[in-house]
Amino acid sequence: MDRPALSAYPPVERWDDWEEYDAKAWPKRVRRRYRLVPTTCFNCEAGCGLLAYVDKDSGEVRRFEGNPEHPGSRGRNCAKGPATLNQMYDPERILHPLHRVGDRGDGKWEQVGWEEALEDIAGRIGKALAEGRHDEIMYHVGRPGEDGFVERVLRAWGVDGHNSHTNICSSGARTGYAMWMGYDRPSADFAHARFILLLSAQLESGHYFNPHAQRIIEARQGGAQVATIDPRLSNTASMSDFWLSPWPGTEAAMLLAIASRLLEWDAVDHDFVRRWVNWEDSLQARAPDRDPTYENFVDLLKETYRPYTLDYAAEETGVEIERIEAVAKGIAAAGHRFASHTWRAAGSGNLGGWQVARCLFFLHVLTGSVGTRGGTSPSAWDKFKPEHWNTPPPSNQWNELIWPNEFPLSHYEMSYLLPHFLKERRGRLEVYFTRVYNPVWTNPDGFTWLEMLKDTERVGLHVALSPTWSETAWFADYILPMGVGSERHDTMSYETHAGRWLGFRQPVLRVAGERDGQSFERTYQANPGEVWEENEFWIDLSWRIDPDGKLGVRRWFESPEDPTRPVSVDEYYGWMFNHSVPGLPEQAEKEGLTPLAYMRKYGAFEIDRNRYELNETPASADQPGVERDGKRLSGFTSPSHLLEWHSDTLREWGWEEVSVPTYVKSHVYWRNLDLEGNERILVPIFRLPTLIHTRSGNAKYLYEISHGHPLWINPVDADQLGFETGDLIRITTQIGHFVMRAWRTEGLRPGVVAASHHMGRWRLEEAMGNERWSSALVDIRQTESGWMLRHRAGIEPFRSEDPDSERIWWRDPGVHQNLTFPVNPDPVSGMHAWHQPVRLALAEPDDRYGDVYVDTTRSHRLYQERMADTRPGPGPDGLRRPRWLTRPLPPAPEAYLV
Ligand code: SF4
């Protein structure tokens, strides 16, 4: 494995019997013996390896450390990985299935058996399927586990019911990448780069924090420079060579000015551009009267971007010319060894934000740093997706509640509009699963979600699959306790570097027990209480939906050995590791192991490394590809298999004006705001590197580090508005207001205020409804004009099985700002644009810290206004959506036709 030496890890051959002194017993020397069981972190999508230290005497996990055998994380973790221990031993976690009694949301629950819950849920689904009400079954995921597992289940049921959180997360950036190359995410080869450009630190301080951060550090040790574009001085920005703090939403202007410099300096890899850009089609589309020569295409590029001078960029963004120019020179000098990344941030903050990723990738196209060592590749080159056993064919359903015709190019499901769609009676839901997902808290306009979830006519049955309480689970009919990251099976692979690996998340107590000679039919036999793992849940639920096989569902879940019983996870993953992971069976055989036993032993497998320039890979005549110099090559997954400067898709679907990389002015464009008065731009989506949206609330290790939620405000603004640090401020959005305390800091540009999106958790009952380590006790009431949330108490110590709960010393639960944001869909990408134009004022006499007020009638009106900006399908050939644009659960080709 390509990793710097780490010497402090127990060697694999001693993982079954590792002995060390108990640090907590110091100064006594108390020996402890452990089994070390590898698994995979579930606390962000980077999928780092973990090693569980299972105490041989007590059978408990004592701690989690990094798995040195994991090719992505190489033994390292961020703070969130070891905090898996807190999630396992949270004294307040839900250990048994709960069923609502009384009205939904009233907080009255009874413990029920799994049998009863499964029968009820399966009965409703089976009836809906038998009656052709397929669109009434919906699964809504927050943190995804394994690629393809639930998609396979939904296929078996024949429903188009996959809904995800991606359109409140990353689909802005994804759209920008997809319109260039088909692939919708980047994979930066940070370790070998000479210049690294990060658009905001969201990614490197949140998702991918550890695997990317460690490689960026290696690059810097080798002399690379790092530039971070972020209105806020993030941890990453503070460690960068350049911090560029633009007006939010102007990032594309800066990137196009850099592109224009590269063109003027001729710092362009013409061989690459001529070979891999769709320049002939672009010229034909944008300047049909010119001769179709490459030189004319370059001239067209220069003319198109000449207005983006450094002066213009500096004026528009508020960043000094010298800094922009220095970054442009750094990129030009790096050439093929230029790596970059944008995720969330500008792409998800602004209407038109998807163009930021498109403009960023333009710099790679010009410098030829696409797919190179030290450059940036499509993510799919560096992420491995194994095949699933016995996969059903795609369904021919198209669910308009998820893929409405107003957003034919939306990169992912229009999930956050669901309550508005139900309000308009576009449909109803018979069974709605939320899975490690908390839309009432996470999504914009959460009170509209709350209204929807309370409505038992529109949502027949809400099943929350969750290890813990949450604001959304409170409004469920069933809460079914699912295992945390160390209590379940998943395969994981992500683009952490220029190589592919597959990680195996496994239930560590089950695996440790099996090594001790115990046997388990189901993971819940080893997990605490009656906590299930999801894979077994879906298998067993599918059996019950179709007990006699008449619906055609059951057969996809029958054991290959014995069709009279459900498939086991060992059979499932045994097939996968035997049949679809290149090199794994051979490697396992060398050690005398089955592929499954190998993955159980190491927790990860490196498939290959140094994957560069795969666009040059030969393609056979029956494979997708493109002719280049007489050879058929793989190219990219765009419609032309080239990199598309001009996108015919955008033109054909009504978006000609943005069919090339373009600067789109944001809904928070600074010149349109009353900056002389009290209007400012709120940046509400920055991450704290030590918290997770709604899954770190019970992680005492993490809350002890991060437990404050101030409104960042530059002293220039604070002086103008008369704010001091600690003052209570009322922040008014388009649909309501919230109240938090000011923090004067020069860590963000004037004109912008910011609040992290991690905090503001709440519960409605003292000892139930959310984690007391992190949440406020609140009252919620409906007034004539809207909803009001008020804190009754902040975080306080409480008595539990964990003595640390009585030692809680932090008090600030934060403020639930997302409630006050109207939905704001980008008409192209479908991404919710998070940044807010807000008005700031000192709090009014009756205001209290944490107050939130929202007018949901107004939020629905704003939703309708935004819908009026859409350009609905169908598009060419009567299609609902271009077939080449990916979907997580693609239906059969005929379903694309209206
Ligand atoms: S970077 Fe993500 S996957 Fe890795 S340890 Fe941190 S939270 Fe876990």
Tell how far the Cα of 206 is from the centroid of ligand 1, in angstroms: 8
- Structure confidence at residue 467 (pLDDT): 87
The whole-number pLDDT of residue 687 equals 84
Residue 145 has a pLDDT of 78
What is the DSSP-derived secondary structure letter of residue 489? -
* Angle made by CA atoms 368, 608, 363, in degrees to the nearest 5: 15
Residue 606 CA to ligand 1 center (angstroms) comes to 18
H/E segment holding residue 432: strand 429-435
- What domains sit in the chain, N to C, each tagged with a CATH number? 171-383+637-658 (3.40.228.10), 671-860 (2.40.40.20)
How far is the centre of ligand 1, averaged over its atoms, from the C-alpha of 269 (Å)? 36
pLDDT at 7: 65
Name which residue sits closest to atom 8 of ligand 1, judged by CA: 81
Please provide the average confidence, as pLDDT, over all residues in the chain.
96
Ligand 1: which residue has its CA nearest to atom 4? Answer: 48
Looking from the CA of 72 toward its CB, the CA atoms found within 13 Å total 33
The answer to whether residue 350 scores a pLDDT higher than 90 is: yes
Q: Provide the H-helix boundaries in 318-426.
A: 321-334, 345-349, 354-367, 418-423
What is the mean predicted confidence (pLDDT) over 212-228?
95
The answer to whether residues 769 and 469 touch, using CB atoms and an 8 Å cutoff, is yes
pLDDT of residue 686: 87
Distance of CA 877 to the CA centre of its chain: 33
* Average pLDDT rounded to a whole number, residues 824-833: 98
Percentage, residues of the chain above pLDDT 70 = 98
Atom of ligand 1 nearest to the CA of 66: 5
| Closest C-alpha to ligand 1, atom 6 | 78
Q: What separation in Å is there between the alpha carbon of 175 and the centre of ligand 1?
A: 25
Residue 175 in this model has a pLDDT that exceeds 80: yes
**Best residue for ligand 1 mutational test, from 70, 80, 85, 692 (most atoms within 8 Å of Cβ):** 80
For residue 467, give the DSSP letter. Answer: S
List, as own/partner pairs, every contact residues 881-887 make where C-beta atoms lie below 8 angstroms and the sequence separation is at least 24, other chains included: 881/403, 881/408, 881/409, 882/408, 882/409, 882/639, 882/649, 882/653, 884/182, 884/637, 884/638, 884/639, 884/649, 885/178, 885/409, 885/411, 885/649, 886/178, 886/184, 886/411, 887/403, 887/412
User: What mean pLDDT comes out for the span 40-54?
Assistant: 95
- Dihedral, 211, 216, 222, 223 alpha carbons, nearest 10: 180
Say if residue 247's pLDDT is above 60: yes
Substitution site in 40, 44, 74 for ligand 1 pocket (most atoms within 8 Å of beta carbon): 44
Mean pLDDT of 262-281: 98
Q: Give the pLDDT confidence of 115-163 residue by residue, as tens digits.
A: 999 999 999 999 999 999 999 999 998 877 788 999 999 999 999 999 9
The pLDDT of residue 723 is above 90: yes
Query: Would you state the pLDDT for residue 4?
Result: 54
Residue nearest to atom 2 of ligand 1 (CA): 44
